[in-house]
Structures are given as structure tokens and as C-alpha cells.
Chains A and B, each alone.
Chain A
Amino acid sequence: MTFRSDDSPDERTRAEAALRESEERRELALEAAEMGTWDYDLVGNVCHFDERARKLYNLSSGSLDHRPEGVTAVVHPDDVGPMFDEIRKASDVDGDGRYEIDYRIAQTDGSYRWLRAWGKAKFEGEGPARRAVRIVGATRDVTNEKTARALRESEERLRAFGEASQDVLWIRDAETLQWEYLTPAFETIYGVSRERALAGDNLAQWANLIVPEDRAHATSQIVRVRDGERVSFEFRIKRPSDGEIRWLRDTDFPIRDPNGKVVGIGGIGHDITKDRRAADRQEMLTAELQHRVRNILANIRSIIGRTAGNGAAISEFRDHLEGRLAALARTQSVLTRSPGEGVDLEVLVREELLAQAADEKQFTVSDSRVRLASKAAEAVTLAIHELATNAVKYGALVQPSGRIDIAWRTEPRNGVTWLVLDWIERGVSIAPDRASRQGFGTELITRRIPYELRGTGTMDLRTDGLHAEIAFPVEGAVDSLSARDDGKART
């Protein structure tokens, strides 16, 4: 808008009034938008700031014009370079002249505030002489938007961590002790949906999931955190979905406001069920190992006493003892080779016979597959050992015409499956003094087997050789999965 000298006074007054009104409107709008304006004279290299802009840029209010050095002094060092880049870009005659930048401006207290400036360059001249002469624009404080956004982003990041975590993360209000935040891992660990967990008095509901023995301790820990302590404690829950007991370790901490008052309780719940089970199993294995070692020692003591009991010569005592300990050792090594799987009866019998250097032409062994649990395996190994030792000394294995058939079968007795093992010697001429012998082997078969395996054991010395029968219920003594009922012996 230009004024011409020949305008009439009325027109001039009207035009001046319109201009005032327009400027007033612009001023009100800029004030409402909290924007300061500036005008950067590129030719004179000086920048003019209005009152609000000077406040925004923290510039002395005495002078309206500022050299660029004065401006760069208040801009954050990292933002100075980008500012000049933006000025160059806006001044580019081939560009659109737009200027827009966010930068940090130093405040009197040493802090920085974020400002966003928008501007437009004005060009003069034509062709090669064309150049930008000024950039005019406005600036606004965007610190709040910036921090709000940063906060939102950081919150979203944390939420993403929370959603992905296999631990339950939660926050309770310190006043009401109610959950304000609970991550989805809760559903996996506790077996209760988040909606249900958050409904009603959710502190009481959570406490109800804890097994009664651990409940009071767990809830008291929450109170300790409210009083400002950090705590870590372990407790068990019973999942309502499947009744499973799970172990949790909670690490809880107070969340404070800037004045130090506890306003929230934060917690991380880690499922330690697997660790606990592994530790329990380890403890159980150690206890069982200790039990086994001591029991074997007690067994050896008993075997020594019984081996010495018949008043035999020391050399015979040593031979018997060594043989029995070797049989005991063989059972142990087979049992520990595949713990929990039991011992294959055929392997057990063959190993005992071969340990006595028995000639394979003199015996047959059933090939029906049966696996014995440790307790039965131990007793049966020793029984076969005694039978084989006797056969080598007095029976079928010392006489050329002697034969042994070792056969077993499973059969029902009173509704329970029994294993029946027969040791049948043939072609043996019996020495006259043999019938009276009541040794270790006889006690083992006729007393120990009935006692330990709730079975029966007989030793019958017939005219052509010994016939021993060992029978016991297989439940607990044989792994039922592998015990087949075919009972066919290879003869």
C-alpha cells in the first residue's frame, strides 16, 4: 500500500484507519499465537526483532537491531551450523525462499528452550544480478510440544518393552495400592486375563492367587515398598486356569515424585519355576546319591557278615566276597548307565553267567524282553550270581553233561502281573552232602526276594539238578512299558 500526495485528505484518513486496523489485527493474532517477528536484512547484515521476538531469543531489549554474531551467541552451538545452512538455502535464487528451523536458544538461567522460526526470503534484481535481500519471519516457543513428544516417544518405547517382556512389569498407585499398569506377561504367568486381574480390588485379587503360606509375606513386602524400601522376594502362586503352582521372584521399588514422596510402586515379576524345579531336582539327586552310597556301604557290611558267618576258610571267604561285590558292582554300573530305564533281564543274566566263565553251549537264556527296576535288578543279579557260582562249583557248569535253562515269563496272579523266572539244571549228579547246604544263595532266594519284592523264591534240589524259581509282582519291579507278555523262551 502506497500513499500518493494527490490523495484527498478524506481518502487518506480512511486509508490510514484501514492500515491501523490491519496492523492491530495482525498484532493481536501474533500475540495470540505467541509469535515474535523478525526481519533479517541480508544487505546490511542486521536483524530487526520485535518485542516478543527479543524475549524469545533472550536478547537485550535496549536495541531493536542485532548483528548475526549477537544472535549466534544465544543459539545452541550444535544448532548454529544448521541455522546458517537454512539461511543459505532460503537465499538461494533458484529455491522457493522458504526458511524453517528448530533450534535451541540459551536462557538467562543457562537452560535452553526450543524455538521454531518460519521465514520467507525477498529477492531483488533480474538474471545474474538477482539476489535475496532480506528474510522476514516469525518465531514461536515449541519447547512444550518438543518435550511432550519426547515423553510420548519414550513412553511408547517403554510400553513396547513392557509388552514384549516375559517378566510381568507393573505399577501400583501408592495410595490405593491398585494396579495402574500391568503387562501381558501377567496372563502367561498367572493364567488370568489382564482385564480380570485389573477388575475390582485388584490387590486383594492378586493376593488370592498367592498360595496361603506365602500370602502374608508377599503383601507385607508391597507395604514396605510403599514406605520407601526396595525389596526382592519369592512366592508361589496357584494358577486358577490349571491349578499349577508357579514360583515368582518379585523385585519391587518405590516411584517418587520430584519432592521425594512415594507416589507409586513399580514391580518386576520373574517366573523362577524352572530354576526352582532344577534346584529341587539337584537337591533330590544329591540326597538320593548320598542315600545310595550309604545304603551300598550298609549292604556290603551285611554281605561281609553273612559271607563270614558260615565259618569257611579265609580264602573261600575272600573268593565269595569278591564275587558278590563284583555282582553288586555290575548292577550299579548297569543302573547308572541308563538311570531310570531299568535293566534288561537277559543282559543281566548273561553277564552273570559270563562272569563265571560259563560255556555258552551249556546254557540257554530266555529272550523275552523284560526290564527290571533298580531294586529288583539288584536282588535278581545277586540271585543269578549265587546260582551261577553254585553251578560252577557243584552243579551243571562243572559236569560235562550238565545243562541250564534260564527262562522267564509274565503271568497274572490275583489280578497282578508277576514275573516268574526259572533256573533249571539238568544232567547233574548230586553230591550226597549238597542237600543240607543252607548258604547265602538260599537265604537270598527264599527269604530276601520274598521280603524285598513281595514275591516267592524256592530252591528245589531234584535228582538231576537244582530247580530254582523266583517270582514277584512286576508293578514297581519291572517297567511296565517294556514288559511284554509273550513269555517265549529260546530253548
Chain B
Amino acid sequence: MTSGGAKHPEFEGISVLVVDDDYYQATDAADAFAKVGATVIGPCGHVDQALASIESTAIDCAVVDLNLGFGASFDVPRCLKNRGIPLLIVTGYDESMLPPDLKGTSWLDKPVHRTALVRTMAQALRDACGALKIEHPGRTWSADQKAPALRLSTTGAQWRRHLPSGVRDGHNDRLWCGWISGSL
């Protein structure tokens, strides 16, 4: 349990949703993220709990198992993807199992080491930030990959701190939310 000690400053203040139906694996993952300074949401062992957490909590990224007790299910990864929340799939299934709309999602095979877990999640976060390009009539703004990790959230509130003032004007939180996920 000493391997999770590597410093990952990008997880400071970042909330990580952990979804796995296996108690040991779920708590191991939660422990790994807590150790690097992330706020752990969950862990959730059931689809409905995970969906409720996504709905009610500001989540920056998520690590998700595909089998939550009743065969492979893609409800949780789809929900996260639709909201533009970076996610990492950790599962015993083969990657070929992924449906076309989820192809390209970050992926780790079980059993997974906590160091690999944290490192891959951090990379997925950086990739999501780098890929982010926000367009607005009159100006274009891209996230700098070297910038501190963008705060991704379902409310959009945390995004706004990182947006230039001209972009923010005239939009309420709700509009931001739909608009941001649409441009991801």
C-alpha cells in the first residue's frame, strides 16, 4: 500500500467518482485516489447509485467498471460521456466489447495496480483538457495543456473561473453546461 505515494498535484480538489461492484476493488481504487489528494465520490456498486451520484454531485472524472453484477452495462459510461466528464474504464472484459459510441475511451484491464490507475486517470484528465476548444462568436479560446487541470463539473460553475470574461457574458450556468458538453 506504499505504491500510491507518487505525487499527483493535478488531483488536488478534483472529485473522482469510483464505480465498481466489487467491494475490495472499489475500496482499493477509492483509497488510491484519496491518497493523491482527490475527493472520492462513492464508491458505487450499483448502476442506479452511480447515475444518482452523477446527477447530484459535481464530478470531475470517473473510474468505472463495466460489470455491475448483471453482465456488461454501458449506462454509466454513456451518462458520463454525454456530460463530457473524462472517464477511465477498468474491467475484466476485453476492449473489443465496447460499443462504437464508447470506442476510444481510456481503458485498463483488471487486475489493475493503483499506480497505473492514478497515472492513467491523470492522463485522461489532461487529454480532456487538451482536447477542449471553446468557441464563441467573435473569439476562439483553447485550453493550454500546461495549465492547471481544468475543473470539469456538471454544473459548469467551475469552468467559468477558467474562461475569458467575454465568453462568460450573457450565459447562465445551465446554458454553459449544455454548451460545453456539446463542444467537447
Contact = CB atoms under 8 A, between A and B. Distances in A.
Interface of A: 284, 287-288, 290-295, 297-303, 305-306, 309, 375, 447-448, 451-452, 454, 476
B92 A294 contact: yes
Interface residues of B, number: 26
Contacts of A447: 23, 27
A448 B24 CA distance: 8
Contact of A291 (B70, B93, B111): B93
A287 B94 contact: yes
Given A375-B69, A476-B70, A287 B24 contact: no
Contacts of B25: 298-299, 302
Contacts of B147: none
Contacts of B67: 291, 295
Contacts of B69: 375, 452, 476
Contact of A451 (B45, B72, B91, B112): B45
Contacts of B22: 295, 298-299, 302, 452
B92 A451 contact: no
B47 to A, nearest CB: 12
Q: Which 5 A-B pairs have the closest CB atoms?
A: A302-B24, A294-B92, A298-B111, A291-B92, A448-B23
B163 to A, nearest CB: 39
Contacts of B21: 375, 452
Contacts of A454: 45-46
Given A302-B24, A303-B24, A297 B111 contact: yes
Contacts of B14: none
Given A287-B97, A305-B1, A295 B110 contact: yes
Interface in B97-132: 97, 109-112
Contacts, number: 66
B111 A294 contact: yes
A452 B23 contact: yes
A233 to B, nearest CB: 20
B171 to A, nearest CB: 37
6 contacts: A298-B111, A301-B111, A305-B28, A451-B45, A452-B45, A454-B46
Contacts of A303: 24
B1 A287 contact: no
Given A375-B69, A451-B26, A291 B91 contact: yes
A309 B1 contact: yes
B170 interface: no
A300 B1 CA distance: 15
Interface string B12-48: 0000000001111111100000000000000101100
B5 interface: no
A375 B69 CA distance: 7
B115 to A, nearest CB: 13
B166 interface: no
Contacts of B24: 299, 302-303, 306, 448
B69 to A, nearest CB: 5
Given A287-B97, A476-B69, A295 B92 contact: yes
